[in-house]
């Protein structure tokens, strides 16, 4: 009624709105904060999607609170209208947001080779840090990595740092004493818990524990098999390390690369449940590969949002590349060996049916990964046979994390 000279379409919930947007991108989105699925969540997912990011969003509500307005601004809403509003005001806001679009964030320089320098900004990280409820990742891992790589640091330095976090230290003991490590005697000393696995290994275990602490366990879900997801994640980490030993590449980074590769799936499942539910249904009903369903319905994949999160959390560049390109290693311009390693491990774990990657699709291993390691079909089968026994201890790691 107010926009007679405009072509309009209506959706009664955020998920349906996203479906319509993916079919035909509008010039502007006007959404109520209280629409089913949340107008704020709609603005967030539009803002982090490479496909939809440039579409301005105007949010509306009756009697908005200061908190609501701040959340709307953090979500990337271009404007906010308090109900009731006049037609002239609506027209004015639409004109403003459709004629003055913000410039995209510049991409930072990528000329530093050290993987433990601060990772580069991804073009679409502008709003991921403001996702409502997203945890702030502790800096313990990066601090421990710096200590582990310092010539002056000792096991005592790292042990002392861990003493300040009893919960984390308890999880570390459970991991170190799990059958996966197979130490002859049970480890009770903090110093031994640091020394026996190795300093960088401890840093990686700490990050694994922190990731699980933030995203493991029960919580709001779109229907992703969360238990199967974590089993697949840990399985890929174990397979990555197993392959690294056999192929003699990237041993220190392999396990954590496997842990982090599918991080975006659990973020989408937990924080955008109403929207990710359509992805899970598409996968279940039609057997669509999950990456394909994500791109079609959300305008982005779990790899993209995982990469944004890794940048926000200051993960090293090698892990950032694993997350972004583990499905398409040929596109990784750097750290290709590690990316290819996790890509192969991911595919092997799926073939062995260990856990769930979110669908029943068995991905083909990219030719570039096979060529990089000089693997043929018979060689691949030998690697699969070698990895399978190592997965037997995966449940012990999950038990330690979940205890």
CA nearest neighbour of 283 among 294, 271, 298: 294
Write the DSSP symbol of residue 27. Answer: S
User: Do residues 357 and 350 touch, judged by C-beta distance below 8 A?
Assistant: yes
Q: Which of these ranges, 49-58, 95-104, 229-238, has the smallest mean pLDDT?
A: 95-104
The greatest distance separating any two alpha carbons of the chain, rounded to the nearest whole angstrom, comes to 77
* Predicted pLDDT of residue 73: 87
Examine the pLDDT at 178 and tell me if it is beyond 90.
Answer: no
Tell me what the pLDDT averaged over the chain comes to.
Answer: 85
Q: Where are the domains of the chain?
A: 14-99, 134-211, 216-403
Examine the pLDDT at 218 and tell me if it is beyond 70.
Answer: no
- What is the tens place of the pLDDT at every residue in 367-392? 999 999 999 989 999 999 989 988 98
* Predicted pLDDT of residue 258: 95
- What is the tens place of the pLDDT at every residue in 164-174? 788 888 888 98
The band of 130, judged by pLDDT with boundaries at 50, 70 and 90, is low
Strand order in the sheet with 29-32: 29-32, 57-62, 79-83
Query: Any idea of the CA torsion for 200, 204, 210, 211, to the nearest 10 degrees?
Result: 160
User: For the chain, what percent of residues have pLDDT higher than 70?
Assistant: 89
pLDDT mean over 177-185: 85
The CATH code of domain 14-99 reads 3.40.50.2300
Examine the pLDDT at 48 and tell me if it is beyond 90.
Answer: no
Q: In terms of pLDDT, which residue wins out, 342 or 163? A: 342
- Sign of the torsion angle spanned by Cα atoms 83, 86, 91, 92: negative
- Give the separation between CA 301 and CA 234, rounded to whole angstroms: 21
- Give the separation between CA 213 and CA 91, rounded to whole angstroms: 47
pTM for this entry: 0.84
The CATH code of domain 216-403 reads 1.10.3210.10
pLDDT mean over 222-240: 92
Q: Give rounded-to-5 percent helix, strand, coil for the chain.
A: 55, 5, 40
């Amino acid at each position: 009624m107010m926009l007679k000279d405009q072509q309009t379409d209506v959706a009664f919930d955020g998920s349906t709105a996203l479906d319509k947007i993916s079919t035909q991108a509008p010039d502007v989105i006007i959404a109520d904060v209280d629409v089913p699925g949340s107008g704020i969540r709609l603005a967030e997912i539009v803002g982090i999607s490479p496909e939809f990011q440039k579409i301005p969003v105007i949010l509306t509500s009756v009697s908005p609170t200061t908190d609501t307005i701040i959340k709307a601004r953090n979500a990337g809403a271009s404007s906010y209208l308090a109900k009731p509003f006049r037609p002239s005001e609506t027209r004015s806001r639409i004109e403003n947001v459709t004629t003055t679009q913000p410039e995209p964030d510049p991409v930072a320089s990528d000329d530093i080779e050290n993987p433990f320098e601060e990772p580069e900004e991804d073009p679409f990280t502008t709003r991921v840090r403001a996702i409502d409820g997203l945890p702030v990742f502790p800096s313990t891992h990066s601090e421990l990595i710096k200590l582990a790589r310092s010539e002056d640091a000792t096991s005592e330095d790292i042990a002392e740092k861990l003493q300040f976090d009893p919960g984390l230290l308890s999880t570390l003991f459970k991991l170190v004493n799990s059958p996966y490590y197979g130490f002859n005697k049970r480890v009770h000393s903090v110093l031994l818990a640091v020394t026996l696995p190795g300093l960088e290994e401890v840093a990686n275990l700490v990050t694994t524990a922190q990731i699980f602490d933030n995203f493991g366990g029960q919580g709001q879900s779109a229907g992703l098999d969360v238990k199967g997801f974590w089993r697949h994640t840990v399985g890929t980490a174990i397979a990555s390390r197993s392959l690294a030993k056999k192929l003699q590449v990237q041993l220190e980074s392999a396990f954590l690369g496997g842990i982090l590769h599918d991080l975006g799936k659990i973020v989408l499942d937990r924080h955008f449940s109403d929207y990710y539910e359509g992805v899970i249904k598409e996968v279940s009903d039609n057997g669509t590969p999950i990456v394909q369903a994500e791109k079609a319905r959300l305008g982005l994949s779990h790899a993209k949002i995982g990469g944004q999160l890794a940048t926000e959390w200051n993960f090293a560049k090698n892990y950032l590349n694993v997350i972004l390109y583990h499905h398409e290693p040929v596109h990784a311009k750097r750290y290709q060996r590690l990316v290819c390693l996790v890509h192969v491990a991911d595919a092997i774990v799926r073939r062995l049916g260990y856990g769930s990657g979110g669908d029943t699709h068995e991905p083909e291993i990219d030719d570039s990964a096979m060529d990089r390691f000089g693997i043929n079909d018979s060689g691949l089968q030998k690697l699969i046979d070698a990895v399978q026994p190592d997965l037997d201890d995966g449940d012990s790691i999950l038990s330690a994390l979940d205890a």
